[in-house]
A and B are shown apart, each in its own frame.
Chain A
Amino acid sequence: MELWFTEKHTPHVNFSIKVDKQLYSGQSEFQRIDVFESREFGRILALDGYLMLTEKDEFIYHEMITHVPMAVIPDAKKILIIGGGDGGTAREILRYKSVESIDLVDIDEEVAEVCKKYIPQTADSLNDPRVNCYFEDGLKYIRHHENEYDLIIVDSTDPFGPGEGLFTKEFYGNCFKALKETGIMVNQHESPFYPADAYAMQRAHKRIFDSFPISRIYQAHIPTYPSGHWLFGFASKIHHPILGANWKKWKALNIKTRYYNPKLHVGSFALPNYVEEIVREVE
């Protein structure tokens, strides 16, 4: 018997992982949630059939979405994570002792519960006393906050389904409002490779670019995401993502990382020409 998890990266491209067994399958109010056990990638979380994380490569995504902004503002105290119910982003942020509180807002409580049970590698962080979980619509939550956060991390699903509100201009504008004067917003920014993803990426960039004075894109290599080439957005009110990095302070924290390092931080903002073109088109 062979059991395979397959995600369509495009209508003409399949990505498959051989599955040992299915650990969980359920339908929440918002989406279908599945957890698989695999030999190559360990446990896998899929939402509505889209692969969200695997135990083997989640460190790349979670390190890049957190340490890049934290190297710029290593003394950040108040963090907001929108999405991120799997806990991976919170886990990385908790490594900074100076962080006083992490508000985590995810629309789907069942994802967090399922991850706590089946993927403790990331979701154990949700039990930390510094993490406050709110299970509601991120767009609604952010509307009611002003001048409050040092860092907002948008750790969303894709721009269709329950996460679509997190790719809108009204959302980014409300994030701007909820950040302090020195605040930074980092977001999961889709992929530049396949045309449909690239279009979503370009639209998101246009909206962020319109909402923040500084808006740059950086990249990482994530093997289990479509094309493997993944982007993040860095938007801020005053801080430059490279010139503003506080390497002395960050190195002194002595945080051990597997993917991220200062050299890679700088290099990750150097984009391939074809990606630059997509980005420039809307700037």
Chain B
Amino acid sequence: MKQPTQENAPILEALERLKQMRIVPFDVPGHKRGRGNKVLTDFLGEKCMSVDVNSMKPLDNLCHPVSVIKDAENLAAEAFGAAHAFFMVGGTTSSVQAMVFTACKRGDKIILPRNVHRSVINAMILCGAVPVYINPQMDKMLGIPLGMSINDVKKAIRENPDAKAVLVNNPTYYGICSNIKEIVKLAHANNMLLLADEAHGTHFYFSDRLPIAAMHAGADMAAVSLHKSGGSLTQSSMLFISDKISEGYARQIINLTQTTSGSYLLMSSLDVSRRNLALNGKKIIDDVINMVEYARGEINNIGDYYAYSREKVNNDSIYDFDITKLSVYTRSIGLAGIEVYDILRDEYDIQTEFGDLANLLAYVSVGDRPRDIERLVSALAEIRRIYKKDSSGMLEAEYISPKVMLPPQEAFYTNKEDAVLLDKAVGRVCTEFVMCYPPGIPILAPGELVTEEILEYIHYAKDKGCQMTGPEDMDLQYLNVMG
């Protein structure tokens, strides 16, 4: 049989062959190509339902790939420069979990920046790994956490020579990159694995105008959200490994939690997106860069707003910047980013990715049109004209350094737990998460000390319209703490 190339999409092709075979389905799913669920078929379309099928011989099996899924994974590995690729159907959350579970057992240390996604800390609760947090540097004006400084990484490695892995955001939600190449060297020199959360970095693999991609920098594992900048369906993702990781062991780990009914809609979307990126990625990303650069220039011309870019690079905590990110500092018009986010949606019918206390992030991709960019820029100009007010009195965001008292797993699964009024929790050790969404980075994780500073931040962020997620009490009147 002919060796598949990047022009192929083995899963897509297998599904197309399947359609022609007109197989009579006496297997799941029970909707039987949509015939058994007319309302859903009218809504999603017959084409979509006809390929929502189960694993079978011509379609391979995600838990144990030997044919078309294997071929598709091999093509993805080749396209992204990895030893092996896994197609993931539980979101990049599942890819991140698989990385942590593969690298760490109970009690193992992992060095990571505090501004990790909640999925990383969740993974530690499940497997019992112990975090060694590196305080990301903070940009005082923008109020955002940055990357890791090399000196901080060195210090953490020196103080924790027994750590099993270092985890790097490549990039952060805001597009900021650490010096991943150097961190790879430090990790490897100290017998540690380098794990990369590339939820926002798919496009790095296909352009030389962007920061270096983790696998190209020598990372051992990378969790890549193809459904963000890669164009695949929501909840699809890929996990890449280097030749230092056993493919078989990683698959065992993945199969601990992965569904045995992997969705062919998700898998085929990964396959098609990989082909598209491999064949046309450079051009697609160039188009996005051009649109974002234009928007950034126009927004900076409005006045007061600051759409930042590479000029923020400082060769350390901002080692590089992803210029496809359109982040705009809004506090200079007297509004929190989340307030601008709400006005854009409620008044101007424009949905952006998120607003935090000082910034707005608009997600720009291949699907955008220049005239939509004009709408965004014009609406921002109008918001400034109509709503601009004095910006004094707005909280200067400070990085709040977590005080880890217990491993997350020990705190979360404790038998001695009290639910206390939030304001009475100062000085106690928290046993659950408090996350400010946006941007979804933990304020408190299980095992951490509650401080006055943290309470002040929670009240301010709530007041500005951020959602507090994570705690058992969804209104956060009460907080669970160690008894």
A residues apposed to B, CB below 8 Å? 137, 139-140, 142-143, 162, 164-165, 168-171, 173-174, 177
Contact = CB atoms under 8 A, between A and B. Distances in A.
Interface stretch (B205-213, B285-293, B380-388, B400-408): B380-388
Contact of A143 (B347, B348, B349, B378): B378
Contacts of B379: 168-170
7 closest Cβ pairs, A-B complex: A170-B379, A170-B378, A173-B382, A139-B374, A170-B382, A140-B374, A139-B378
B381 A170 contact: yes
Contacts of B385: 173, 177
Nearest to A173: B382
B297 interface: no
A164 B372 CA distance: 10
Contact of A169 (B298, B348, B370, B374): B348
Given A169-B379, A170-B348, A173-B386, 7 more contacts: A137-B370, A139-B374, A140-B374, A165-B375, A169-B349, A169-B382, A174-B382
Contacts of A173: 382, 385-386
Interface string B152-196: 000000000000000000000000000000000000000000000
Contacts, number: 46
A55 B116 CA distance: 64
A164 B374 CA distance: 11
A137 B378 CA distance: 11
A165 B381 CA distance: 15
Residue from the set A139, A140, A168, A170 with the largest chain B CB neighbour count within 10 Å = A170
Nearest to B350: A170
B308 to A, nearest CB: 21
Contacts of B382: 169-170, 173-174, 177
B371 interface: yes
Chain A facing B: main interface SS: helix
A140 B372 CA distance: 11
Interface string B357-398: 000000000000011001101110110011000000000000
A169 B347 contact: yes
A137 B348 CA distance: 18
12 contacts: A139-B374, A142-B378, A143-B378, A165-B378, A168-B349, A169-B348, A169-B379, A170-B375, A170-B378, A173-B385, A173-B386, A177-B382
Nearest to B372: A165
A164 B371 CA distance: 9
Interface-central residue, B349, B375, B378, by most chain A CB under 10 Å: B378
B371 A137 contact: yes
Given A168-B348, A173-B386, A143 B381 contact: yes
A165 B374 contact: yes
A118 to B, nearest CB: 26
A156 to B, nearest CB: 13
A180 B388 CA distance: 21
B380 to A, nearest CB: 8
B457 to A, nearest CB: 33
A275 B302 CA distance: 38
B414 to A, nearest CB: 52
B374 A137 contact: yes
Nearest to A174: B378
Given A168-B348, A168-B349, A169-B347, A174 B381 contact: yes
A160 to B, nearest CB: 12
A33 B454 CA distance: 61
B274 to A, nearest CB: 31
A137 B379 CA distance: 15
Which one of A164, A168, A177 has the highest number of Cβ atoms from chain B below 10 Å of its Cβ?
A: A168
A139 B381 contact: no
> Which of A164, A165, A169, A171 has most B Cβ within 10 Å?
A169
A162 B372 CA distance: 10
A137 B373 CA distance: 11
Contacts of A171: 378
Contacts of B370: 137
A170 B381 CA distance: 8
A163 to B, nearest CB: 10
